[in-house]
Structure formats: C-alpha cells, structure tokens
Chain A
Amino acid sequence: MIALFLRDLRLAIRAGGGFGLGLGFFLIVVVLVPLGVGPEGRTLSLIAPGILWVAALLACLLSLDRIFALDHEDGSLDLLATAPIPLEGVVTMKALAHWVTTGLPLTLASPVLALLMNLPGPGYPWLMLSLALGTPALSVIGTFGAALTVGLKRGGLLLSLLVLPLYVPTLIFGAELVKRGAAGQAVATPFLLLAGITAGAAALLPFASAAALRVNLR
C-alpha cells in the first residue's frame, strides 16, 4: 500500500502542476477577494478566516476528479481491484496522496496568504492547525465523491455538486476555530469537533468509497 502512495506522489511530481495548481488557485482566490471587497484592513481581517477556509476548500476540490479518473482510463483501477490489497486500503492511500499534494501545501502556504488577508496575529497558529486538521477530511470526503463519479463523462461538475454539501461541517468548524483563535476566545469546542470529523471521516468513509468503486467497476 505504501507503494501505491509513493507512486501517486511520484506521478504528481512528474506530471507537474500536482502541487502547484492547487496552490496557485488558492493564491488567486485570496488575491481576488480584497479586489472585490475593498482594501480596508478591518473588513479583511474580519472575513479572513472564512475566506481562507473557503479558498482552501475550493483548491482541494479542483484536483478531486483526477484521484481516480486517470487510473480508470488507463486500466490501473481494474488491476488494483484484483490485486491482493483491499480496495479500502487503495482509497485510503489515494486520499492520503491527495492530501499530501494539496492539503499539506495549502496548510504550509496559508500564513503567507493570511498576511494578505490581514489576519490578526494570534490567528496564525490556529489557521495552520485548523487546516492541518481539517484538510485531511476534505481529501477523504472528496475521494468518496470521486469514487461515486469515476465512470461518468461529465463527472467534474457533478462531483462539486455532490461534495460541497458534504464539506459544510468541516468548513464551519475549521473557520470557527480560526475565528475564535484570532479573537483570543476559547477554541476547545471547534477544535475537538473538527478533529472528530476528520477522525470519523477517515475511519468510516473509505468503506463507502470502496463500495462505490466496486459498483462502478462492475
């Protein structure tokens, strides 16, 4: 299973754009918001947690349809399904590789963008922590969506429609954690709930994703 993870990472690096595309998108959204909202620092710092989280979420969404589509096209998915590793393990590794190529770079780059959004000082550690905690859930949920739509011709648009409502709890708790952290309030509740969602999604959703894949490969 580690081999699958390493292969996906290697493919992302060789294909180019694996890391860069999501990051670039994240940057562009965050640059566009002040252009639309206006340059006033107080307004920006007020909406910074929400905008940063929504931008990260959209950047994650961007690369979801590639999780299984390429492997489906070239037949690797059929071969993986008949390989001795369980399909649940395959989808978990896929989600992990997706997180390392999108969620992790977003988390690492977020302080720079938070600077652009005038996020209050105390919010920085909480922003990175919330993204580090929450983006794995985004990848796991997104993998589920990708597994549902793998064989479809116009899967990309449908994928967004399916996945975005599922992102609601993660978004709410993630942004709330940053908001409270930046305002110096108690953060325990959103922190624990966000961690709970990630843990629960990572533990249970691979079974649903694998079931969906099996149906799609039939």
Chain B
Amino acid sequence: MSIWKYANPKQFMQTSAWALRWLVPLTAVLMVLGLVWGFFFTPPELRQGSTVKIIFLHVPSAMIGINAWLMMLVASLIWFIRRHHVSALAARAAAPIGATMTLIALITGAIWGEPMWGTWWAWDPRLTSFLILFLFYLGYMALWAAIEEPDTAADLTSVLCLVGSVFALLSRYAVNFWNQGLHQGPSLTVAQKQHVADAYWYPLMICIAGFIAFFVTLVLLRTRTEIRARRLQALLARERMG
C-alpha cells in the first residue's frame, strides 16, 4: 500500500479521525505550556520590557502564514497531477487559516512595532510582503467561493495557486529592491532571531510546535467538513437524478 491510499476520502476520514484524537490534546498542551511559560515565566527584556513577549504569537503565526501557502501549493500540485479530491479540498481548507495567521502576524507586528519603532506600520520589505501575501490569500479564497462546480473550482484555484506562488516570490524580491531604493535604513525585524536569549528560545520553540499542531488540527477538521459538504452535494445530486 502506498501513501496515496490516504488520499481516498473514506480512508482519509478514518485516519484523520484517529489523528485528531491525539492532535487536539497535543495542541492544547503545547499552546498552553508555550504561551503561559512565554508570557508569565520569562524575564522582561532589558530594552523592550515585556512588549517583547508578543514574539510568542508573532513569530509562530508568521511562520504558519507563509507555510500554509506552501502547503496549498503542494496540495494543488498533487491535485493537478494525481487528481485526488482530498488534496484539492485540503488546499481549500488551509487558505482561510493561512490568511488568518497572516493577519495575526500583521496585527501583532503592528502592536509590537508601535512601542519599538514608534509607528504601527512601516513599509518595510517584510511587512509589505506579508500584506501582499494576505492579498494573494484573499484572491485565492474569492475564486474558490465564486465557482459553483467543485472540480472546475479546484482546477482553476490550483492554476491560480501555482501562478500566484511565482508572482508572490517575485513580489518578495521586488519589494526588497523597492524599499532599498526608498530608504537605506536597517531592516527592522531581521535582528530578532539571532538575538533571542535561551530564556525566550525554549518557550518560543514550544509555541512554534504548538502553532504547527494547531494548524494541522484545523486543516484536518476543515478538510473533514469540506469532504462532508461534498458528500452531501453528491447525495443531493444523486437524489435529483432519481
């Protein structure tokens, strides 16, 4: 049996039900542990005080925001090549989660940026690319929503995801280039990762693991919902057929 047996909807429902039994508690434990440790049991930072603690939300959500799109790209390719329905539905299920995570990253970034840089928003390359990524998510979801025939929608959104990925990457480089052209100032957010002290490092890793588990849980749940919706549609269509 190959890995593709899990692409069968029935098999997927069974496997995901089993996986969710473990994933839900794991997510809860990791998130609670990581966030409580991060928020309440870490020392305040010398310069930034306790505002730095938003890192425990900001960094994981930003990571998920980007990687959700990558996951959608892989799922779209699988749909394109092997035409597994579950794959297309998983891509659809991941989009709103990725968009929300991107939004959380933008909002927490603004909240963090205000005390640190004195502004809620700067047209920094990183921030700008995230905003553009958010726009790509919006377009992708709007296309899914606009097309009634599910297979057509899956095909077209896959094409969009593929082309969008190329252009998102291009935009990332274009934005880097563009901002250099405007002001040569130091990149404001790059430094944080190299200067994370151990006291922050461990809870941060737990938070990241927690967010990943959270993402996987949500994608599985939403994919299950999509599969049920499709099954309902199939049953209704069958009924009309007589």
Contacts and interface: CB of A to CB of B under 8 A. Distances in A.
Given A148-B156, A197-B170, A205-B163, A162 B142 contact: yes
Contact of B159 (A161, A179, A211): A211
A7 B175 CA distance: 39
Size range of the chain A interface in the assembly? 20 to 34
Contact of B174 (A152, A154, A162, A172): A172
B143 interface: yes
A154 B148 CA distance: 12
Size range of the chain B interface in the assembly? 20 to 34
Interface string B138-154: 11001100110000100
B138 A161 contact: yes
A19 interface: no
A189 B176 CA distance: 13
A176 B147 contact: no
A173 B181 CA distance: 11
B164 A179 contact: no
A166 B147 contact: no
A212 B156 CA distance: 6
Interface in A130-168: 144, 148-149, 152, 154-155, 158, 161-162, 164-166, 168
A190 B174 CA distance: 9
A165 B177 contact: no
Most chain-A Cβ atoms within 10 A of its Cβ — which of B135, B147, B167?
Answer: B167
Interface of B: 132, 135-136, 138-139, 142-143, 146-147, 152, 155-156, 159-160, 162-164, 167-168, 170-171, 173-175, 177-178, 181
